[in-house]
């Protein structure tokens, strides 16, 4: 909540209002929501949105960072508990559910992963590294094929999330496809 420190009072208010409205609009319309619409509904000029968030990615970043960090923390805590395979599967399921929060999120996830210049790249790779530790533990226990790495896992989870988005029965398809994948990665 300190992200807006040092701003003039009106700027601070605008920043927070934009973020709150963006969350709602992007929930409704997906990551491709109209920026004009967000500014309009926030009661703010379009230039003000651009001043606070110079790119669409910067806006998404502000919305997503918390979730990324939460997933990384979750991986850490799972590392200290439960059977290796069960812990990995629980985390993968959490990650997969996380990709359903906004339409278009699986695409943002992979974009962030591949783009080192993205403001979210660090947060994203930290999460991936945390997941990779869970993965290695399961591999060492002989539960998961040993050649799988964190990028494979991320891309597969994102792919499943994306495919589910395209279906009229998203939730159902996501569970089905994820189960097919995770079953198949067992060794």
Residues near DNA (CB under 7 A) are 7-8, 10-11, 14, 33-37, 43-48, 50-52, 54-56
Name the minimum Å distance from CB 176 to a second copy.
Answer: 7
> If binding is defined by CB under 8 A, does position 110 make contact with a second copy?
yes
> If binding is defined by CB under 8 A, does position 152 make contact with a second copy?
yes
Q: How many CB atoms lie within 10 A of CB 66?
A: 10
**Contact partners, residue 171, CB within 8 Å, separation at least 6:** 100, 164
Q: Residue 187: name its binding partner from a second copy, DNA, none (Cβ under 5 to 8 Å by kind).
A: none
> If binding is defined by CB under 8 A, does position 88 make contact with a second copy?
no
Report d(CA 93, CA 97) in Å as an integer: 6
Alpha helices (H) in the chain, listed in sequence order: 9-29, 35-41, 46-52, 56-79, 84-98, 105-114, 121-140, 150-165, 170-185
Q: Residue 45: name its binding partner from DNA, a second copy, none (Cβ under 5 to 8 Å by kind).
A: DNA
Which CB sits closer to DNA, 6 or 184? Answer: 6
Helix (H, G, I), strand (E, B) or coil at 14: helix
> If binding is defined by CB under 8 A, does position 81 make contact with a second copy?
no
Which CB sits closer to DNA, 103 or 173? Answer: 103
Name the minimum Å distance from CB 28 to a second copy.
Answer: 21
Which CB sits closer to DNA, 59 or 144? Answer: 59
Residue 158, classified by CB atoms within 10 Å of its CB into exposed (0-12), middle (13-18) or buried (19+), is buried
């Amino acid at each position: 909540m300190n992200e807006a420190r040092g701003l003039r009072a009106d700027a601070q208010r605008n920043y927070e209002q934009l973020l709150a409205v963006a969350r709602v609009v992007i929930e409704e319309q997906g990551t491709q929501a109209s920026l004009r619409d967000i500014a309009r509904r926030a009661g703010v000029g379009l230039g003000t949105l651009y001043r606070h968030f110079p790119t669409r990615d910067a806006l998404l970043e502000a919305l997503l960072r918390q979730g990324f960090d939460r997933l990384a923390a979750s991986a850490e805590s799972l590392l200290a508990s439960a059977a290796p395979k069960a812990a990995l599967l629980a985390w993968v399921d959490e990650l997969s559910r996380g990709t359903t929060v906004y339409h278009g999120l699986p695409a943002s996830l992979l974009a962030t992963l591949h783009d080192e210049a993205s403001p979210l790249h660090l947060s994203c790779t930290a999460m991936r590294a945390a997941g990779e530790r869970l993965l290695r533990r399961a591999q060492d226990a002989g539960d998961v094929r040993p050649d799988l790495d964190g990028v494979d896992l991320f891309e597969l989870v994102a792919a499943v999330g994306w495919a589910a988005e395209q279906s009229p029965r998203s939730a159902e398809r996501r569970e089905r496809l994820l189960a097919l994948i995770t079953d198949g990665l067992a060794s």
